[in-house]
Amino acid sequence: MPFTPLHLGPSLVFGLPLRKKLHLPTLLVASVAVDIEPFLVLVLGLNYPLHGYLHTFLLALPFGVLIGYTMFLLEKYLGELWRTPHLEEDLLARASFIGGGVLGTFSHVLLDSPLYSDIRPFFPLEANPLYAPWLSGPIYELCVASFIVGVVLYLVIAIRSKQYSGLRGDSL
């Protein structure tokens, strides 16, 4: 996806309703982190495929686990940061972080695979059976629409949480 933040839309729409079971901040980070690979290729001028091994399910799995575990370790430092804007409901188990990481990296590969002929999602297979450039318009539209829906959903959650906190006399 030429504009990496487009990956956030589907993650928001999927992750917000599941934020009591799945660590949403991890899902959001993982859904865009895969594009560190093309970023480094472009910035450093590397002789490496633009969509290389991180854009495969084979490496997306351990990369997602690594992101999830890292976010789990950072929870004691960043947890309050996630809870204040209602991105995280409660303290979650390590599996919710790992699941968010893997789901985020897999969704990135899945959304990018129809768009780019150089992606090999099922590496070591050389083919990209998901390549379908005619889907680029609908995929971009889905990502933009889901981002808008995700922001609205987030605002509803934040407003309800604030109203609930106000009823209890809590302060945010």
Give 15-38 pLDDT, tens digit per residue: 999 988 899 999 999 999 999 999
Given pLDDT bands bounded at 50, 70 and 90, which one contains residue 163? low
* Helix/strand/coil for 79: helix
Reply yes or no on whether the pLDDT at 164 is more than 80. no
- CA angle 71/39/1 to nearest 5° reads 85
Given pLDDT bands bounded at 50, 70 and 90, which one contains residue 140? very high
Reply yes or no on whether the pLDDT at 113 is more than 70. yes
What is this structure's pTM?
Answer: 0.88
Beta strand segments in 83-163, E: none
The predicted pLDDT at position 145 comes to 97
In the chain, where the domains are located: 4-168
Q: Tell me the mean pLDDT in the region 76-101.
A: 81
The predicted pLDDT at position 86 comes to 64
- What is the rounded distance in angstroms from the CA atom of residue 99 to the CA atom of residue 26? 9
Given pLDDT bands bounded at 50, 70 and 90, which one contains residue 172? very low
Site of tokens 């897999």: 106
